[in-house]
Structure 1
Amino acid sequence: MVKSRKDRSSVSLVCKEWYNAERWSRKNVFIGNCYSVTPEILTRRFPNIRSVTLKGKPRFSDFNLVPANWGADIHPWLVVFAEKYPFLEELKLKRMFVTDESLEFLAFSFPNFKALSLLSCDGFSTDGLAAVATYCK
């Protein structure tokens, strides 16, 4: 099995059969810019994802050059994932806006959820984290 992200992308360009094989066998996906694709397009392209890495705001937002509540909201992604990826197990977020409501939604929507990474994310409190800790594996 091809493990490298770059190699998997190359394999999918060979022919329709390889495209479909890669499409259906992919278990994790990396989105380096949440504005580059919609969650609907992602779920249509890769129907069996178990792990998502999603980056939001640009790096310069770490230096307060972007308003705190500007874009990169995770909730619309979670709504689509709950419908299309009910077996999602892992979510890695970087520079995304994550509310307590979004964390509670995540905790109740994915029965097999195991791992959450929130790197440079904002908008949530310990209440949201408590919901994840209480209701996720």
Structure 2
Amino acid sequence: MAYSFPEEVLEHVFSFIQCDKDRNAVSLVCKSWREIERCCRRRIFVGNCYAVNPKIMIGRFPEVRSVELKGKPHFADYNLVPEGWGGYAYPWIAAMAGAYPLLEEIRLKRMVITDEALELISRSFKNFKILVLHSCEGFSTDGLSAIAAYCSNQLGDPSFCVTSDEAKPRLDSAYTG
């Protein structure tokens, strides 16, 4: 006969485990721990946007509040990736828009994010607080305006940080509410 702690106790214990590696290890102990961990996971990191399908992530982790996605490999920063290679954020944003209405934070790195994707973000997540675009491309001030116009009504005045370096101009944006 197997004995286990009640689910409520395990959920409370799991809430103190912050390290992704530790959470992954906990989910491997047994099926019931995996199920509890999947329901209480609030933050997801995807190091390669092509390594997993967004629908699989959504099915595995239904209560996510924060998502960090990386698109193109690091050497894309040095123009070593062909134009139009990929790293598109829209399929991820569209999938998350229907599944995570309480999403609060999106961090994207080296991804192609369109103005339409930014507008979808601005209208889909009612508790949205943080948007970080690091070395991203494909958007304009129209997309940022959609974020500022819609999200500022809910969360106050958004702030954007624009930086560039001589080697490769880029727009790094941080929206915090």
Q: Tell me which interval the TM-score lies in, with the shorter structure as reference length.
A: over 0.9
What is the TM-score normalised by the length of structure 2?
0.75
Partner secondary structure for residue 120 of structure 1? strand
Counterpart in 1 of 2:84? 69
Partner secondary structure for residue 29 of structure 1? strand
Q: Does 1:58 align with 2:73?
A: yes
Q: 1:127 aligns with which of 120, 142, 167?
A: 142
Once the two structures are aligned, what percentage of the paired residues are identical? Answer: 56
Q: 1:49 aligns with which of 43, 48, 64?
A: 64
Q: Does 1:113 align with 2:113?
A: no
Partner secondary structure for residue 82 of structure 1? helix
Q: Which runs of 5+ in 2 are unaligned?
A: 1-15, 156-177
1:37-93 CA distance string (max 9 Å, x none) = 010000011000000000000111111111343211111111110111111110000
Partner secondary structure for residue 36 of structure 1? coil
Q: Which has the higher contact order (CA 8 A, sep 6+)?
A: 1
Q: 1:90 aligns with which of 89, 105, 117?
A: 105
What is the TM-score normalised by the length of structure 1?
0.97
2:75 alignment partner AA? F
Instruction: Give the Cα–Cα distance (whole angstroms) in 2 for the partners of residues 79 and 126 of structure 1.
Output: 20
2:57 alignment partner AA? L
Instruction: Give the Cα–Cα distance (whole angstroms) in 2 for the partners of residues 81 and 95 of structure 1.
Output: 19
1:88-117 CA distance string (max 9 Å, x none) = 110000000001111011111111111000
Instruction: Give the Cα–Cα distance (whole angstroms) in 2 for the partners of residues 70 and 121 of structure 1.
Output: 13
RMSD: 0.9
Instruction: Give the Cα–Cα distance (whole angstroms) in 2 for the partners of residues 67 and 99 of structure 1.
Output: 18
Q: 2:53 aligns with which of 38, 43, 67?
A: 38
Q: 2:23 aligns with which of 2, 5, 8?
A: 8
2:137 alignment partner AA? D
